[in-house]
Amino acid sequence: MSHEPLVEGLRGHDYAKPLDAMRDYLVALRAAPMFAQEGDHEFATVIAALGPKMLELGATLCDGVHPYLVTPEHTALAREAVGDKFVGVEQAVVFGESR
């Protein structure tokens, strides 16, 4: 729900089915011609994914996933969900005295 105001209010898109929208986008991306100088080179596709369905999509249509600000426990779940695909995790650490 946190992205809905940005997707609908700022961009004017329908947020009702983000998984379907991402799947359609990835299929179209794969089918799009490459006009860059490296056009015959296969590039990796990685999506931001947190929930089980988006992680599964990353495992099936992508080369990996990028979970953002997650716990070590979630990282283990993501690794299990995508198998040997890339998992680029970002975890935040705060150094300081505890209160």
Residue corresponding to tokens 């947190």: 50
Domain spans of the chain, in order of start = 4-87
| Per-residue model confidence as pLDDT tens for the chain (99 residues) | 467 888 888 888 877 788 998 999 999 998 988 887 776 777 889 999 999 999 999 999 999 999 998 989 999 999 999 999 999 998 777 788 876
d(C-alpha 55, C-alpha 22), whole Å: 12
Helices (H), the chain: 4, 18-31, 52-61, 72-82
Instruction: Report yes or no: 75 and 87 within 8 Å, Cβ to Cβ.
Output: yes
C-alpha radius of gyration, the chain, whole number: 16
pLDDT at 97: 83
Task: Specify the pTM.
Answer: 0.77
* Residue 51 CB partners (closer than 8 Å, separation 6+): none
